[in-house]
A and B are shown apart, each in its own frame.
Chain A
Amino acid sequence: MRKLGLYFLAILLLVSLAPVGNIVKAQGTYHESPMLTALVEAGELPPVEERLPANPRVVEPFKEVGEYGGAMRMGFVGNNPGWGGLWYVTGWENLASWAPDFSGVVPNIAESWEVSDDVREYTFHLREGMKWSDGAPFTADDIMFYIEDILFNEELSPAGPSADWLPREGAAEFRAEKIDDYTVKFIFANPYGTFLYTLPQWNGRHITWFPKHYLSQFHADYNPNVADLVAETEGAEDWVSLFNIKASGPTEDTNNYFNNLERPLLFPWIPTSVLGGSTEMNMVRNPYYFKVDTEGNQLPYIDEVVGVSYQDDEARNLALANGDIDYIKDATGREFFFDALDSGAPLAMSFWNDEAGNTNSIHFNFNTQDTVLAEIFKDINFRIGMSHAINREEIIEIVHQGQGTPAQVAPLESSPLYNERLATQYIEYNVDLANEYLDKVAPERDSDGYRLRPDGERLSFVLSVPNSEAWQANWVSVGELLVGYWEAVGVEVLLDAVAADVMTERREQNNYEATIYTGEGGAGLTPILQPRYYVPGEYDSLFGVSWFYWWAGAQDAVTIEPPQEVKDLRLKFEQVGQQPTQEAQIAAMTEVLNIAADNFWVIGISRPGNGFQPYHERIGNFPDQWIHGWGEGVEKITYPEQWYLKQ
């Protein structure tokens, strides 16, 4: 296996506040897919010059200028095409996007932007003449419709204005102004220095998501007769649920758009059939898509996308090795694919660098219902002892095929936020040292050699682990090894592998003692964007998930008010996002990471090795190396609109 350097991450995001995209205007006329030329000649479509904005987004092909045509077949597991993988390839167009090397934020739907000195005001310039997939213009009115009629509508947003990109603090004072048809100004209550980083991410998707010309018919403020539409729509109880069904938002799952074929989109491909009776659904190129390549060819290159539903991974893997499908997201079965590659399957292989800081994070629930256990978990000596008891080299060898090095959950060495203490403290495998620390917490032992808690009970807890294999995770295998290591130092652990939705339920009910989860927050500035293991109060800060629910004001879940020092730390973190400059953000976050190192919230195992991505060899312009992660848009950072099918 090739070891890939992470060198290009080092320069990450250091020069990125100014727009740096390719705003090279293509010379001469534009070109289009022969499929669309036919439609133009038949008089069903306006010519390409009229369909593209005045200043289209220019994408530089990763390897070469591609050829038009073909149908790409994407396999996914289950019944949800979007979450199964198509969202990441055929959707996800936001105001801004990541540069392909993750070196900064570049313009996408927005042509350019200006930021005020106090980082409270952001002015976005949209592309003149840009259109939705039905040909209607996309303008500032669409964004204003979202802000004024959805975000600030009391019925659609009953808990007040709440969005992934809007800080909770001062959300009600947020304002947007329409300067002209192609200019919108966002004014935040507080300085918001990290706003631009949220734009390319999932959190930024809603800003350009709502076509006003289509959706106003489902909005009570615009259509007094909306009740008629409610009555004739299956599954709609009132206009709010009708709006959510038709718009796939604000509260409805975004990926529900795959079930609504009439909804205009800004994406490269739009769905033309829904998944149902057969195992396939279809998508076709958006004739109004706003991007061109460096030679003025309107993107995407690929005419059609077919989503193929599978019931399990094995059938999907086999289909890819067969050449029946071209691409799958989250491939499992490393050995299978490398064997297939060697035996001549029509595959190509790409390697990705994981953005994560660790393969796993081990969480002890500080708020667990058993209060004696909770006190032990809160004792840092307990966690230090448990960390020293882990044989990380063995886990790397057995579970991760020898890939990676022992580490705690921490920013990567290449990140400007790298914190050596956070990354390397307590990683030594040393049973004596582990016992020394644990003796400070629970020195007494029973006749079987297990430690005793202060109340005389055996020190024993349940390690609840999701048995899901999303993102090539190996939580159960890691958990099995941990049980053995911890037994060796006198702590009894019962491994409980549960389905992912059972684990969700337990989070809401605060009904778990310890768990294992992912290790996000490694590359570049991702520790600021995904601080879940460095600060409490994030959804995946599983060492105190009930604190998160308290901050979020949840009604369905158990909420616990955090102690003052945790609240203070959270406040400190929120100030990071308010810093105007990158240097100031890094300085503020470094302080937060030092506190994280003092607290040692979670235990990590190892730095992630390289991931692998098999794909059909006929796909062109797929990168050989890329940065892979949720924050990067998974496949979206590879710009799937410039993939093409070799004929």
Chain B
Amino acid sequence: MILTVWIITVIAFVVIQIPPGDYVTNMVSEMMSQGSDRIDPAVTQQLRDQYGLNDPVYVQYYKWMKNIVTEGNFGYSLTFRRDARVLILERLPMTFLLTSSSVLFVWFVSLPIGVFSAVKQYSIWDYIATFIGFIGVATPNFLFALILMYLSYRYGGRALIGLFSKEYVNAPWSWARVADLLKHMIIPVIIIGTSYTAGLIRTMRANLLDELKRPYVDAARAKGLPETRLIWKYPVRYALNPFVSTIGWALPGLVAGEVIVSIVLNLPTSGPVLFEALKEQDMYVAAGFILVLSTLTVIGTFISDVLLVILDPRIRLE
């Protein structure tokens, strides 16, 4: 696991450095795009020395890694001029709140619909559920976000942008602020969630259909077990296996989906910061985020493995 994370950090750090230019080039471009016309080359050179950008990549990587391992220091954000760790810690809670809410939403929606579609296979409701699910998959997140923004502006009187109303952005935590947050979270959760529900509905439906044809189901039915209890107790439980093992791959997918949605909806999560950091070649922040997110994904995979073992004792024996 540690090896995986380490390889990811190397790749992340190197890939960030591949595009031409560096943070200083980017800063100069930004100043120019504002109209500044005299950027002294002596200044840019001094800035590069100051930020250590003249060192070779492996030296920069070594310094960065050493500081993380020995001091827990993630380096310095060139854009925000602050400790990258502080920046990451500020943004991660919202990201996790949003992502985990989306996972719950996905499960909450796709599990019953999946079971329902399997039990009532080829009924009109099966088709409707499938149809809606496929639309969710096929609509790009950003488009869906724009449509919902437009609808909320057109019919709700105002566009729901951000995670807080303006009164609550920098307010201390209170019940009113939580309520405000929940109100604003509905749209992003639906957007991020819908693209994954259809996949899970199909998986659930297919697995359950396999199980429903097994003789033990017929046997149970013949013994007079009520239909609802029968389905939920036995075939659904078997069908859940792939469901749980998807946590591993669903997490990075949701985090990636979150980036685009957060940019469009202006959410204070890690996505936009990561995206900007990559664009501006603010490499310590970018690499720091990738390190943290990949570590969490690896942990997520581990958790799903553990859950699987608990759910299905057969796996332990193999």
Interface set of A (CB-CB < 8 Å, partner B): 73, 78-80, 83, 158-159, 162, 164, 202-203, 234-235, 237, 240-241, 244-245, 251-253, 256, 259-260, 273-280, 282, 308-312, 314-315, 318-319, 322, 324, 468, 470-471, 500-505, 508, 520, 530, 532, 538-540, 549, 552-557, 629-630, 634
Nearest Cβ on chain A to B315's Cβ, whole angstroms: 41
Q: How large is the interface on B (under 10, 10 to 19, 20 to 34, 35 or more residues)?
A: 35 or more
Residues of A within 8 A of B52 (CB): 237
30 contacts between A and B (CB under 8 A): A79-B79, A79-B80, A79-B280, A159-B42, A234-B76, A234-B82, A234-B83, A251-B42, A251-B43, A251-B46, A252-B47, A252-B50, A253-B27, A253-B31, A256-B81, A260-B81, A276-B86, A276-B90, A277-B87, A311-B272, A314-B146, A322-B158, A468-B33, A500-B30, A500-B33, A501-B26, A502-B20, A504-B21, A539-B38, A540-B37
Stretch among B162-170, B194-202, B231-239, B293-301 lining the A interface: B162-170
4 closest residue pairs by CB, A with B:
A630-B35, A277-B90, A554-B41, A470-B33
Q: Does B174 contact A (CB under 8 A)?
A: no
Residues of B within 8 A of A79 (CB): 79-80, 273, 276, 280
Residues of B within 8 A of A277 (CB): 87, 90-91, 268
- Residue pair A279, B81 in contact (C-beta under 8 Å): no
Bound state CA distance, A448 and B35, in angstroms?
42
Instruction: From A73, A235, A318, A630, give the contact of B36 (CB < 8 A).
Output: A630
Bound state CA distance, A308 and B162, in angstroms?
11
**Chain B contact residues: over half helix, strand or loop, or mixed?**
helix
Residues of B within 8 A of A256 (CB): 81
- Residue pair B21, A502 in contact (C-beta under 8 Å): yes
Bound state CA distance, A503 and B32, in angstroms?
11
Bound state CA distance, A502 and B91, in angstroms?
29
Q: Does B249 contact A (CB under 8 A)?
A: no
Nearest Cβ on chain A to B299's Cβ, whole angstroms: 23
Nearest Cβ on chain B to A498's Cβ, whole angstroms: 10
Bound state CA distance, A555 and B22, in angstroms?
16
Residues of A within 8 A of B43 (CB): 251
- Residue pair B38, A164 in contact (C-beta under 8 Å): yes
Q: Does B45 contact A (CB under 8 A)?
A: yes
Residues of B within 8 A of A158 (CB): 42, 46
Q: Does B121 contact A (CB under 8 A)?
A: no
Residues of A within 8 A of B79 (CB): 79-80
- Residues of B189-246 at the interface with A, using a CB-CB cut-off of 8 Å, are none
- Residues of B40-81 at the interface with A, using a CB-CB cut-off of 8 Å, are 40-48, 50, 52, 76, 79-81
Q: Does B139 contact A (CB under 8 A)?
A: no
Which residue, A79, A240, A540, has most C-beta atoms of chain B within 10 A?
A79
Residues of B within 8 A of A322 (CB): 153, 158-159
Q: With A158-B46, A311-B262 known to touch, is A279 a contact of B31 (CB < 8 Å)?
A: no
Nearest Cβ on chain B to A512's Cβ, whole angstroms: 13
Residues of A within 8 A of B149 (CB): 318
- Residue pair A556, B44 in contact (C-beta under 8 Å): yes
Residues of A within 8 A of B166 (CB): 73, 308, 324
- Residue pair A78, B41 in contact (C-beta under 8 Å): no
Residues of A within 8 A of B44 (CB): 556
- Residue pair A315, B266 in contact (C-beta under 8 Å): yes
- Residue pair B170, A501 in contact (C-beta under 8 Å): no
Bound state CA distance, A540 and B31, in angstroms?
13
Which residue, B47, B162, B266, has most C-beta atoms of chain A within 10 A?
B266
Nearest Cβ on chain A to B173's Cβ, whole angstroms: 12
- Residue pair B268, A311 in contact (C-beta under 8 Å): no
Bound state CA distance, A406 and B103, in angstroms?
58
- Residue pair B262, A244 in contact (C-beta under 8 Å): no
Residues of B within 8 A of A308 (CB): 166
Residues of B within 8 A of A260 (CB): 81
- Residues of B142-173 at the interface with A, using a CB-CB cut-off of 8 Å, are 146, 149, 153, 158-159, 161-162, 164, 166, 169-170
- Residue pair A80, B41 in contact (C-beta under 8 Å): no
Closest A residue to B35 by CB, please name it: A630
Bound state CA distance, A260 and B31, in angstroms?
19
- Residue pair A501, B21 in contact (C-beta under 8 Å): yes
Q: Mark B6-42, 1 if CB is under 8 A from A, else 0.
A: 0000000000000111000111111111111111111
Bound state CA distance, A244 and B21, in angstroms?
22
- Residue pair B262, A276 in contact (C-beta under 8 Å): no
Q: With A322-B153, A501-B21 known to touch, is A634 a contact of B35 (CB < 8 Å)?
A: yes
Instruction: From A245, A504, A538, give the contact of B25 (CB < 8 A).
Output: A504
Nearest Cβ on chain B to A577's Cβ, whole angstroms: 14
Bound state CA distance, A46 and B25, in angstroms?
46
Nearest Cβ on chain B to A333's Cβ, whole angstroms: 14
Residues of A within 8 A of B37 (CB): 520, 530, 532, 538-540, 630
Nearest Cβ on chain A to B208's Cβ, whole angstroms: 41
Closest A residue to B44 by CB, please name it: A556
Q: With A279-B268, A530-B37 known to touch, is A501 a contact of B50 (CB < 8 Å)?
A: no
- Residue pair A276, B161 in contact (C-beta under 8 Å): no
- Residues of B69-114 at the interface with A, using a CB-CB cut-off of 8 Å, are 76, 79-83, 86-87, 90-91
Bound state CA distance, A578 and B262, in angstroms?
54
Closest B residue to A75 by CB, please name it: B266
Bound state CA distance, A260 and B80, in angstroms?
11
New A-B contacts (15) at CB < 8 Å, excluding given A73-B166, A252-B47, A504-B25: A79-B273, A79-B276, A80-B30, A83-B30, A274-B82, A275-B80, A276-B90, A277-B87, A279-B162, A311-B263, A318-B161, A505-B20, A540-B37, A556-B41, A557-B41
- Residue pair A162, B40 in contact (C-beta under 8 Å): yes
Nearest Cβ on chain A to B196's Cβ, whole angstroms: 23
Instruction: From B20, B41, B281, give the contact of A549 (CB < 8 A).
Output: B41
Closest A residue to B265 by CB, please name it: A315
- Residue pair A251, B47 in contact (C-beta under 8 Å): yes
Q: Does B264 contact A (CB under 8 A)?
A: yes
Q: With A279-B268, A312-B263, A502-B20 known to touch, is A552 a contact of B80 (CB < 8 Å)?
A: no
Bound state CA distance, A240 and B51, in angstroms?
12
Bound state CA distance, A279 and B83, in angstroms?
18
Nearest Cβ on chain A to B165's Cβ, whole angstroms: 9
Residues of B within 8 A of A471 (CB): 33, 35
Bound state CA distance, A555 and B146, in angstroms?
47
Residues of A within 8 A of B268 (CB): 277-279
Bound state CA distance, A273 and B153, in angstroms?
30
Residues of B within 8 A of A310 (CB): 266
Residues of A within 8 A of B38 (CB): 164, 203, 539
- Residue pair B170, A259 in contact (C-beta under 8 Å): no
- Residue pair A500, B32 in contact (C-beta under 8 Å): yes
Closest B residue to A517 by CB, please name it: B32
Q: With A251-B46, A318-B161 known to touch, is A279 a contact of B80 (CB < 8 Å)?
A: no
Bound state CA distance, A23 and B153, in angstroms?
49
Nearest Cβ on chain B to A237's Cβ, whole angstroms: 7
Nearest Cβ on chain A to B310's Cβ, whole angstroms: 36
Nearest Cβ on chain B to A47's Cβ, whole angstroms: 31
Nearest Cβ on chain B to A354's Cβ, whole angstroms: 12
- Residue pair B39, A539 in contact (C-beta under 8 Å): yes
Bound state CA distance, A73 and B166, in angstroms?
10
Residues of A within 8 A of B25 (CB): 501, 504-505, 508
Closest A residue to B36 by CB, please name it: A202
Residues of A within 8 A of B21 (CB): 501-502, 504-505
Bound state CA distance, A309 and B268, in angstroms?
9
Bound state CA distance, A78 and B33, in angstroms?
13
- Residue pair B36, A237 in contact (C-beta under 8 Å): no
- Residues of B239-295 at the interface with A, using a CB-CB cut-off of 8 Å, are 262-266, 268, 272-273, 275-276, 280-281
- Residue pair A504, B32 in contact (C-beta under 8 Å): yes
Residues of B within 8 A of A282 (CB): 170
- Residue pair B264, A312 in contact (C-beta under 8 Å): yes
Q: With A276-B86, A280-B169, A282-B170 known to touch, is A237 a contact of B76 (CB < 8 Å)?
A: no
- Residue pair B29, A244 in contact (C-beta under 8 Å): no
Bound state CA distance, A471 and B35, in angstroms?
9
Q: With A79-B79, A274-B80, A278-B169 known to touch, is A315 a contact of B41 (CB < 8 Å)?
A: no
Nearest Cβ on chain B to A309's Cβ, whole angstroms: 8
